[in-house]
Structure 1
Amino acid sequence: MEYLLQVKIGALFGLLLLTLLFGFIPARVRWFRDTNGTDTHRTVLSLISCFAGGVFLAACLLDILPDYLSDISAELAARQVETSFPVPEFILAAGFFTVLILEKLVLHCQERRAPASEREPLLHGHENGHGHTHGRVEAVGPELEGSGHHVHVDLQAHSPFRSFMLFLSLSLHSVFEGLAIGLQNTDAKVLQICIAILVHKSIIVFSLSVKLVQSGLHAGWVAAYLGVFALMSPLGIALGIGVMESHLDSGALVQAVLEGLAAGTFVYITFLEILPHELNSPGRQLLKVLFLLLGFCIMAALTFVG
């Protein structure tokens, strides 16, 4: 077996094991799953979630979108496609609206199946100013308690459906990352890309695991999601190795289109689920923004170094 192939196989198993390690820390440690702890405990969990939001924002703006736009532009140029219509942006929007339509269809079907009594608000505005989020009661700031003001809480924040779409978009992107490793023709380039992916993927899978745990999914489903997600980059590497060994040069356009749909999905999840949920919940707003910025800056620094 040639040395380059050995390096790629080593990268495959390294990505698999490290992703599983960092992914199962929030999933298996009870501290992350406990929602009935002290105020300090809930605050720390909220700040970790804000940090994860910053990570996903950076992944969206600095990683997924630039990769997609670069790949689709190169593919259109290679095929000599010239049009004034913004094709890359349209594909991105298609991914965005696909998730939006699917989510609203799911919610519509749930509402039609639910009895009338289940459609009633579980907690009303006069009950101590508390809101309801997936069966958990979260106290708002003392300045809102008993004030009689209507407190808006996103009842679908961290829903299992949105968690699944987050998992799906990140998984597709992981396949393309692995593909980039598998298609390299020098061992130095393989190691360079692999190290960059190992570092930022460890942070992303940790953040993904936090979001899955917060969505209230059963532990078995969280483990299944993380297991499948861990396999995505190795799958991409294996596909890249297969393409290199068989000397095929097709499917690049399909890959670019799928990457665009995944990017549109990630835009939706980042800006309509993760960030609004973290920033609209009351209390410690400046600290939340600080941790959001911290997550973004760490990913930006890794992108700059990589």
Structure 2
Amino acid sequence: MDILETKWIVLVALFGSTFVFSMLPLKLVSSVRSTEDRVKRGRYGRIISLLSCFAGGVFMGTGLLDLLPEVNELLSKANVTEYMKSSFPVAEFTISFGFFLILILEQIVQEYKEHTEYNVLQDETVRSNSLNPSPDPEAERHLDHEVEAGSSAINVPVYREPQPRPVLRSLVLLLALSLHSLFEGLAVGLQADVSGLVQIFVAVVLHKMVIAFSLGLNLVQTELSLASIVKSNFLFSITSPLGMCIAVVLQEFGHSINSSIVNGILQGLACGTFVYVTFFEVLPHELRNSENRLLKVLALLLGFSVVCCVLFLDPVEPPHCPHP
């Protein structure tokens, strides 16, 4: 089969598998929300919590084992330290900069959101007090006592919907993953023979299916609408095929890709995002609840191990930035 035909088949397969796996968490969460059985809701809730820890392990492994070495390699190829006349750790600084950038942006958004909500709450309180007189404090204390007594008499465990995760973190994670996928697509599209193309495709598609499921699970736990989640999954799924198309077009017109510095900086920022999402969102969100603590740690290790296995099975080092 011709190499160009094989690339088009790989492109379609890559998009289809990624989009399907990114949509699976949507079906799972909709099953949880639609059932009225408390036992089933509790069971499904525990499964989703364990899968979130699995996703945290995937993000951690992808950032530290995949992106970090890639950033070092790209910036080493560009001889950045020679240009700077210094041994300053540029790769590590880029990753740290990406981490702090997301931290600062999110804190600014949270500060603005809390300030706005506080002002709205103050206005509503003033309006409510002006319309409704204050009730008798003694009667209010008596009513509170009766409610507490009634709730203690009925000790039935109820599954509660987890608090929605911050939308900004998930959107930044989507951007970082999409950027990484674009470069993966470039690596696949730059292959010159069918055997090398198939080998890299197998490694990339296994990695992307795990990442796609983890991203989809992260998105469905936010306040994003169904349409926004589907669009986000579509955007992530299309980036690798888009990278392949760019590589094919550049090869057809005889151009080469030699932008190690730009690629390294962008991948470093993406790696900082992975570290932030893992240690500031997924792990604190799940491990602060004491239920199934050891199982959550096991799920985290399992997600990390899956990334290790996929990277270990990668047959060759993809040519990210070949020199002319």
> What's the TM-score once normalised by structure 2's chain length?
0.77
Change (3 A) 1:283 1:249: closer
Cα distance in 2 for residues equivalent to 1:162 and 1:297: 24
The percentage of aligned residue pairs carrying the same residue is 39
SS of 1:291's equivalent in the other structure is: helix
Change (3 A) 1:267 1:33: farther
Q: Which residue of 2 aligns with 1:24?
A: 23
Change (3 A) 1:118 1:189: farther
Cα distance in 2 for residues equivalent to 1:68 and 1:39: 42
Where do 5+ consecutive residues of structure 1 fail to align?
120-126, 129-135, 140-154
Cα distance in 1 for residues equivalent to 2:259 and 2:73: 16
Larger radius of gyration, structure 1 or 2?
2
Cα distance in 1 for residues equivalent to 2:35 and 2:86: 53
The one of 237, 256, 259 aligned to 1:251:
259
The one of 219, 224, 227 aligned to 1:220:
227
Change (3 A) 1:110 1:282: same
**CA shift digits 1:58-80 (9 cap, x unpaired):** 11221122222212222226976
1:160 aligns with 2:163: no
Q: Which residue of 2 aligns with 1:46?
A: 49
Change (3 A) 1:19 1:73: same
Cα distance in 2 for residues equivalent to 1:32 and 1:189: 42
SS of 1:212's equivalent in the other structure is: helix
Structure 1 residues 148-297: aligned runs within 5 Å: 158-246=165-253, 247-297=255-305
1:305 aligns with 2:305: no
Q: State how many pairs are aligned.
A: 276
Change (3 A) 1:35 1:241: farther
Q: Which residue of 2 aligns with 1:67?
A: 70
Change (3 A) 1:34 1:211: farther
Q: Which residue of 2 aligns with 1:11?
A: 10
Greater helix fraction, Structure 1 or Structure 2 = 2
Q: Quote how far apart the aligned CAs of 1:20 are.
A: 1.1
Q: Quote how far apart the aligned CAs of 1:184 are.
A: 2.2
Cα distance in 1 for residues equivalent to 2:227 and 2:308: 33
Partner amino acid for 1:4?
A: I
Change (3 A) 1:218 1:105: same
- C-alpha contact (below 8 Å) 1:19/1:230 kept by paired residues: yes
> What's the TM-score once normalised by structure 1's chain length?
0.82
CA RMSD of superposed structures (Å): 2.6
SS of 2:165's equivalent in the other structure is: coil
- C-alpha contact (below 8 Å) 1:68/1:260 kept by paired residues: yes
Q: Which residue of 2 aligns with 1:111?
A: 114
Partner amino acid for 1:91?
A: T
Q: Quote how far apart the aligned CAs of 1:242 are.
A: 2.2
Cα distance in 1 for residues equivalent to 2:72 and 2:35: 40
**CA shift digits 1:184-230 (9 cap, x unpaired):** 22222211111101111111101111111111321111101000000
Q: Which residue of 2 aligns with 1:132?
A: none
Change (3 A) 1:52 1:33: farther
1:58 aligns with 2:91: no
1:86 aligns with 2:94: no
Cα distance in 2 for residues equivalent to 1:34 and 1:96: 37
Q: Quote how far apart the aligned CAs of 1:100 are.
A: 1.0
Cα distance in 2 for residues equivalent to 1:80 and 1:181: 30
Partner amino acid for 2:271?
A: A
**CA shift digits 1:121-149 (9 cap, x unpaired):** xxxxxx99xxxxxxx9569xxxxxxxxxx
Cα distance in 2 for residues equivalent to 1:5 and 1:257: 31
Cα distance in 1 for residues equivalent to 2:17 and 2:211: 12
